[in-house]
Amino acid sequence: MGSQRKRKTGKILGIMGICAGVAAGGIGVATAPRWLETAVESEAGSPQRTDAGPASSVVKAVELGITPLDGAREVNPAVGPSVKAVHGTLKGVELVPVKGGMAIKGTISGDGSTWSTLEPLKFNTEYRYGFTVVDGAGRETRKTQTFTTVSTPNEANAVLFPHDGSIMGSGQPIEINFSEPVADKAAMELSVKIGVSSGQEVAWRWYSDQKVRIRPKTFWAANTSVTMDLPLFGRDFGSGMIGNSNVKATFTTGPQRIAVVDDATKTMKVYFDGALVKTAPVTLGSPDWLSPTGYAVIMEQERHSKFNAGSIGLKPGDKGYYAPLVVEHANRLTNSGVYVHQALPSAYGAVGASNVSHGCVGLLPADAAWFFNNMRTGDVVQVLNTGAPAVEPLEGFGDWNIAWASYAKR
């Protein structure tokens, strides 16, 4: 009797062991021991089976990969949302702004397992995903979730100069001003495409985390087309700041126009594509206001420009102070107020003979009109022999006063 009880107990323990194995690992009927007298009912005809059990699973559980996650915030709108179903298919996928608007266009892969967007999203927008998942048994499950794209305070952009469609002088560097600091400058340089029809190599000089200028070794060749393509949409500037648009512009140059002003001779010589086309007498800055030397670029032109001594720090009673006045044929060279312009009538006698200005290059009326009408923004003015330092790069576009070998800088 004791022996029989032991044998029965052993059989019960054996059955409990196989049940535990089924629960843990999903052992199928093909591996059931021969002494299991009662056959396990096959589940092959039941489409409802998804969990592992004594029989081989008929339907595998669907696994979903969804980007972005439900409730995600500050989502980069350039990183296209997607849904991927493993062991299942998708249908009825819809991605729409929660507050209303057109659904985002998307596409489903040929096998029905993956959906992805075909167009970028908007910034500062909450979106709702809705999609139906179909498993191997044809059962459908509808799912919805939401996420929000990058908010307005985290948007970043950039402004290009020259502007699209501009015709500039051959001395005009490219300037990019980013709205937010650029953390990885090397990566930004690699992403930006600069096309130069003349084939001239260009170099980048970063003056800050937000300002960079780009120029060739020598002035742009005559009639050069320069294209600037900044693919900034979705680009991470750093610190969570995301580019909100791509920026493009194209400008062209005319002839190489260079005016060389020499204090030693009190003359200006103007060259178009290397040929001398004009010589004119000048007056430059007085000993108290020496004209800066080196290269400068014409920043803007005004037929009539208001001059005010207060802009250079002078007030009534100071030496060199003058009352506000209007100057004709003004061509700005620096932010601080150095111009090529028509001399005041009181200075006509000094033109070609002595220096009486506050640093500007003064011309007689006919020569000033010729210069204004024949030179343009971006053209180069070089000043020699005044004894003053060269124009600082950010005083205007004094980039040409930096040697090419050391121009590139981050």
Query: Among all chains, which residue has been given the structure tokens 């075909």?
Result: 118
Query: What beta strand segments (E) does 59-125 contain?
Result: 63-67, 72-75, 82-86, 88-97, 106-108, 114-117
In three-state secondary structure terms, 6 is helix
The C-alpha atoms of residue 109 and residue 118 are separated, in whole angstroms, by 12
Query: CA-to-CA distance for 299 and 282, rounded, in angstroms?
Result: 20
Fold type of domain 63-150: Immunoglobulin-like (2.60.40)
pLDDT for the residue numbered 314: 76
Neighbours of 205 (CB within 10 A): 18
Reading the chain (410 residues) residue by residue, the pLDDT tens digits are 444 444 444 433 333 333 333 333 332 333 333 333 333 333 344 445 555 555 545 688 999 999 999 999 999 999 889 999 999 999 999 999 999 999 999 999 999 999 999 999 999 999 999 999 999 999 999 999 999 999 999 999 999 999 999 999 999 999 999 999 999 999 999 999 999 999 999 999 999 999 999 999 999 999 999 999 999 999 999 999 999 999 999 999 999 999 999 999 999 999 999 999 999 999 999 999 999 999 999 999 999 998 877 777 777 877 777 778 899 999 999 998 999 999 999 999 999 999 999 999 999 999 999 999 999 999 999 999 999 999 999 999 999 999 999 999 99
Q: What is the pLDDT of residue 45?
A: 42
Contact 342, 281 (CB under 8 A): no
- Identify the burial level of 362 via C-beta atoms within 10 angstroms of its C-beta, where 0-12 means exposed, 13-18 middle and 19 or more buried: buried
For residue 129, what are the β-bridge partners? 95, 145
Phi, psi of 53 (to 5 degrees): -160, -165
Give dist(CA 70, CA 78) in Å, integer. 18
Q: Model-level pTM? A: 0.79
pLDDT of residue 67: 93
Q: Strands, DSSP E only, in 197-246?
A: 202-206, 211-216, 225-230, 236-238, 241-243
Fold of the CATH domain 257-406:
L,D-transpeptidase catalytic domain-like (2.40.440)
**How many angstroms separate the Cα of 273 from the Cα of each of 29, 114, 219, 226?**
92, 60, 11, 19
Q: Which CATH class is domain 154-253?
A: mainly beta
List Cβ neighbours of 10 (8 Å cut-off, separation of 6 or more): none
